[in-house]
Structure 1
Amino acid sequence: MDKQELAAFLRSRRERLRPEDIGLPSGTRRRTPGLRREEVAVLAHISTEYYVRLEQGRAPRRSAEVLAGIAGTLRLSSAESAHLHLLAGTLPLHRGTVQREVRPSILAVVERLPQTAAIVMSADFEVLAWNDLAVALMEDFAEQDRAGRNLARKAFPVVGSPLPVVPPYGISDGTEFQQHVVMRLRTTLAQHPADDEVAGLVQELRTGNADFARLWERQDVHPAPVLTKTFRHPAVGEVTVDCDALELTDQGQFLVLYTAPPGSRDADALALLGVLGADAGRAPRRS
């Protein structure tokens, strides 16, 4: 159980609620934002002392039923409730490290997809495999080391990093992507508490990038799906593609597919990029 992260998460969710949200009078003498701790405790049918200890990171492990009561009181979404249980240790954790080996069958899919830019990404945003169209659309990942292939580092360059302080690959949704990265990394860190590499990445970004640190303190855990993405490519201009991220649940990885409607200007741009990539002699690769 990560008591400190659990405490911070509970405080952030309590402070966002107003008394009137749960049928209580707002009053005029409140000194802190949101609900009072004793109000949460009463509504969740637990002692105030125990709830205070939870928010101070001093409470022992508690049952799933108690946590469900707290989640209902704080009006947590299903994703937030799952994260609460994960932090409290009532959901199974991944005791090992983030999986970075891609199954051969997934590699075959990536290499054979026609007119589709495809990458496989680890739970902490390292690009593990890619095809030639992904190289043409984004970059030649084989020319980067592991740190350079991490999309979280591209989204949040740290102080002194050689990476440019602009959205990676000129994407139009840079702010939304940053929010997605932070929320996904929060879940990954909770799922892999023994992975020093993930913890190190989060610490590096928290201390080296003010935007990451600010978003991390918000404690948000429910990323909105990214349905489309626009790349600004130096050879073909703007390319707007459908973006589908398929979770490989047994691996903890994501197969990300970029496609365009047949016959569209964007499909033509992808086709041209495929030709340019083939002329450059690029081939599907893995890390």
Structure 2
Amino acid sequence: MEIDRTGLAEFLRHRRAALQPEDVGLPRGQRRRTGGLRREEVAVLCHMSTDYYARLERARGPQPSGQMIASIAQGLHLNIQERDHLFRLSGHEPPAHGGESEQHIAPGLLRILDRLDDTPAEIVSELGETLRQTTLGVALSGDLTGYRGPARSLGYRWFTDPATRGRYAADDHEYLSRVYASKLREVVARRGPRSRAAHLAELLLNESEEFRAFWDRHEVGVLPTSGKRIIHPEVGLLDLECQTLLDPEQSHVLLVYTAVPGSETHEKLQLLSVISAPLR
């Protein structure tokens, strides 16, 4: 496929003009004259330089990579059909829809997450890969989006990285091991023997004796509890409730962590929000 530079530029300008700062979790600010988002705001959302993005809108510069187009599609809160259109305009075949490899978060789920910045929350894939976190979510669990390869999966880290396990109350470890092994077995059955889930299971069978023991139980349907006991390096033990919102089309889940108002954990979350607040 060939890139349609003019079509790409026009589509990007149109989508940018259609978005307001509050649509993407940005402050509106004062004396705003731009009808939609500014180019520099889109560049921040897409994790690229303003100059690079501006050249795309001016139908200039090199052909963007598929990875860059995926980042733009997410930054502009495009739906799946709009994302596919953007890929074709840039001269790329769109990624496959849904399933375990889907990284594009639905704009509706993003809009909810954007409004939860005073709450620990994250969006995860069916393999336990954190795709997006709120600021307080990062303060609670660390930046979980920076992992690469199989370590992106919490289940993989659970059986291979002691530091991951150290963030959870010791009394919960055995049950959580059952949960992660059970969940992975279900995803393997759903996606098949050539899937990323099957490859992840194969890696863990080779690397973790403990995982092999839980895998050999053939358990399915072991569900995580709503209560989460997380040990934070600065504020200590947190007793949290985890509410979930499922996007069945994308196989993504929004996890929202809350505490009982007036509880010690609630006070600790308030302290975390102060610690994590950006300097002005």
TM over 0.5: yes
1:155 aligns with 2:164: no
Separation (CA, whole Å) in 1 of partners of 2:194 and 2:134: 28
Equivalent residue number for residue 162 of structure 2: 164
Instruction: Please report how far the alpha carbon of residue 205 of structure 1 lies from its aligned counterpart in structure 2 after TM superposition.
Output: 0.6
Contact 1:95 1:194 in 2 (8 A): no
Distance change in 2, residues 1:112/1:166 (3 Å): closer
Partner letter of residue 169 of structure 1? R
Question: Higher Cα Rg: structure 1 or 2?
Answer: 1
Contact 1:228 1:243 in 2 (8 A): yes
Instruction: Please report how far the alpha carbon of residue 208 of structure 1 lies from its aligned counterpart in structure 2 after TM superposition.
Output: 0.8
Distance change in 2, residues 1:113/1:212 (3 Å): same
Equivalent residue number for residue 241 of structure 2: 242
Separation (CA, whole Å) in 2 of partners of 1:280 and 1:198: 41
Partner SS, residue 239 of structure 1: strand
| TM-score where L is the length of structure 2 | 0.60
Question: What are the within-5 Å matches in structure 2 for residues 190-205 of structure 1?
Answer: 190-193=189-192, 196-205=195-204
1:174 aligns with 2:177: no
- The answer to which of 167-176 and 241-250 deviates more is 167-176
Partner letter of residue 164 of structure 1? P
Instruction: Please report how far the alpha carbon of residue 109 of structure 1 lies from its aligned counterpart in structure 2 after TM superposition.
Output: 1.1
- Structure 1 runs not aligned, ≥5 long: 1-93, 158-162, 282-287
- Structure 2 runs not aligned, ≥5 long: 1-96
Relative contact order (C-alpha < 8 Å, sep 6+): which is higher?
Answer: 1
1:123 aligns with 2:126: yes
Partner letter of residue 167 of structure 1? R
Partner letter of residue 276 of structure 1? I
Contact 2:228 2:240 in 1 (8 A): yes
Identity of aligned residues (%): 28
| TM-score where L is the length of structure 1 | 0.58
Separation (CA, whole Å) in 2 of partners of 1:280 and 1:222: 44
Instruction: Please report how far the alpha carbon of residue 165 of structure 1 lies from its aligned counterpart in structure 2 after TM superposition.
Output: 6.0
Contact 1:168 1:174 in 2 (8 A): no
1:101 aligns with 2:104: yes
Where do 4+ consecutive residues of structure 1 move more than 4 Å? Answer: 94-97
Partner letter of residue 180 of structure 1? V
